[in-house]
A and B are shown apart, each in its own frame.
Chain A
Amino acid sequence: MTYTAPWLRTAHTTPPRGAAELGQRALPMDEDLVLIRRVAAHDRQAFEMLYHRYATRLARYLTPLLRQRELVEEVLDDVMLVVWQNAARFDPTARFSTWLFGIAHHKAMKAWGRSANKPLPLPPLPHDAESDQDNPEQILTEQELGRTLVQALESLSPEQRAVVELTFYHARSYQEIAEITGCPVNTVKTRMFHARRRLAQYLEALGLRHSSGRQEKSA
């Protein structure tokens, strides 16, 4: 039995649900399809256009997972090379961006594995600080809340962060995330569950809790 890399498997995307969503996506998807067909015929101008359409979005996805700019650019190079070499194998019934993000995810996880000998330390869960207990009345401003949550995001594993980023930044459905990350839908939900729990633990360890959309110091 031969191994097939995830980006070479046929990516059948769940059709978008709802007329509004279909209307929003129809045009860009058609343009992507035209471009990838041209890339399959080794059209460099089309390749450059695809690069400009997706490079920023891909970098935005890869940066939180890999954290080092050089590594992000290296993986981005790899992704574009795979697109160039495998454009003819893209299934036109699939959504191009899902296929592309699948390549990026796979390459990012491999790069993360390669850099396992020199990992950047994940911020540990903070311990309750005595000074925090002294001032239970303090209420955080919106800006402080945002900063704390951004810090808390850094404590997620790459797999959890990928699901969080694809959901909240790239607005992907859980079915699409399952395709991109190459795992079952239930695994996507489980990773999101653990990510949310980890963030809640992080905030609780700081003596913070959510209340109706804002964070307060717990008494």
Chain B
Amino acid sequence: MTQRATDPSHPYEHQEVWELLPWYVNGTLSDHERTRVEAHLMTCAACQAELARCRDLAVAVHAAADAWEPSAEHFARVLARLDATTASATPRWGWWDAVRGQYERYGELLRRTPPLIRWTLVMQSALTLGLVGILMWQAPWAPERFYRTLSSSSDQTAQKRVQIRVVFADDITEKALRALLTEVRGTIIAGPSPVGVYTVAVALSGGERAQADIALETLRAHPQVRLAEALHTP
């Protein structure tokens, strides 16, 4: 440390200590910095006054604190966004990761094998890949079936079920809950989570999306349902 840093009355020392005062107040300075500030404060009336101002400011910042609290509804919305993102992102990344992983493993294997076997394997793999490609190309259902996610809408209608995340009012009775689930042809398949979120699977008799929308509207219209969100992007 230079001479000015050890001299509490030096103008530069005053400026640097003045800058550190907010963090002296919040207690995050290093031991060295704290000692330095305290030495300067012993002799500097301006910094003593500024220290008082910083303490007033700390009190005001705490007084301005907002009373926002997390809620089941908010967290359910976060999960709904997460589901929507996962549903749209998973097939693409799953496909890419699988291909890249296979490619890397295969490359490593080839590097370790003798040249004759290596080229035999390459030829064999190329033939297999070509055959698989032809089969995939000819199968009209292939792209959809390769990347199935639980939350994708096409899957849900194929399985004749749609999943809905529901938050019920605290005072709903078991009887009312049962009646509501019967009305929408729903079954609780998960929950409650720690914040009271249930996942309800609704059966679709004809695989019609309209039926899922009606179930969602019925749930939302019920006075004792605080939130109902489908697990797929509408």
Q: How many angstroms from the CA of A168 to the CA of B61 in the assembled complex?
A: 7
In-complex Cβ contact of B81 among A81, A152, A196, A215 (8 A): A81
In-complex Cβ contact of A48 among B22, B23, B25, B193 (8 A): B193
Q: Check if A153 sits within 8 Å of B19, measured CB to CB.
A: no
Q: Check if B23 sits within 8 Å of A150, measured CB to CB.
A: no
Q: In angstroms, how far is the closest chain B Cβ from the Cβ of A165?
A: 6
Q: In angstroms, how far is the closest chain A Cβ from the Cβ of B160?
A: 25
Q: Check if B61 sits within 8 Å of A171, measured CB to CB.
A: no
Report if B205 contacts A (CB, 8 A). no
Q: In angstroms, how far is the closest chain B Cβ from the Cβ of A158?
A: 15
CB contacts (< 8 Å) of A85 on chain B: these are 85
Q: Check if B63 sits within 8 Å of A146, measured CB to CB.
A: yes
Report if B98 contacts A (CB, 8 A). no
Q: Mark A7-46, 1 if CB is under 8 A from B, else 0.
A: 0000000000110010000000000000000000000110
CB contacts (< 8 Å) of A17 on chain B: these are 30-31
Report if A84 contacts B (CB, 8 A). yes
CB contacts (< 8 Å) of A72 on chain B: these are 68
Q: Check if A59 sits within 8 Å of B68, measured CB to CB.
A: yes
Q: Check if B65 sits within 8 Å of A60, measured CB to CB.
A: yes
Q: In which size bucket is the chain B interface?
A: 35 or more
Residue on B nearest A210 in the bound complex, by CB:
B53
Q: How many angstroms from the CA of A196 to the CA of B6 in the assembled complex?
A: 26
Residue on A nearest B71 in the bound complex, by CB:
A55
In-complex Cβ contact of A77 among B55, B62, B77 (8 A): B77
- 21 A-B pairs in the complex with CB atoms less than 8 angstroms apart: A18-B30, A44-B79, A52-B194, A59-B68, A59-B70, A60-B68, A64-B66, A69-B68, A73-B77, A149-B60, A153-B60, A153-B64, A168-B58, A171-B26, A173-B28, A174-B23, A196-B57, A210-B52, A210-B56, A213-B53, A215-B56
Q: In angstroms, how far is the closest chain B Cβ from the Cβ of A183?
A: 16
CB contacts (< 8 Å) of A212 on chain B: these are 48-49, 52
CB contacts (< 8 Å) of A167 on chain B: these are 22-23, 26
Chain A interface residue count, CB cutoff 8 Å, equals 53
CB contacts (< 8 Å) of B85 on chain A: these are 81, 85
CB contacts (< 8 Å) of A215 on chain B: these are 56
Q: Check if A211 sits within 8 Å of B49, measured CB to CB.
A: yes
Additional A-B contact list (20), CB under 8 Å, known A81-B78, A165-B61: A17-B30, A21-B28, A48-B194, A48-B195, A51-B70, A51-B75, A52-B70, A55-B70, A60-B65, A72-B68, A153-B60, A167-B22, A171-B26, A172-B26, A196-B22, A196-B53, A199-B57, A212-B52, A213-B52, A213-B53
Assess A64 versus B64: contact at CB under 8 Å? Given A48-B194, A77-B78: yes
Q: In angstroms, how far is the closest chain B Cβ from the Cβ of A163?
A: 9
Assess A56 versus B61: contact at CB under 8 Å? Given A173-B23, A173-B28, A189-B19: no
Report if B59 contacts A (CB, 8 A). yes
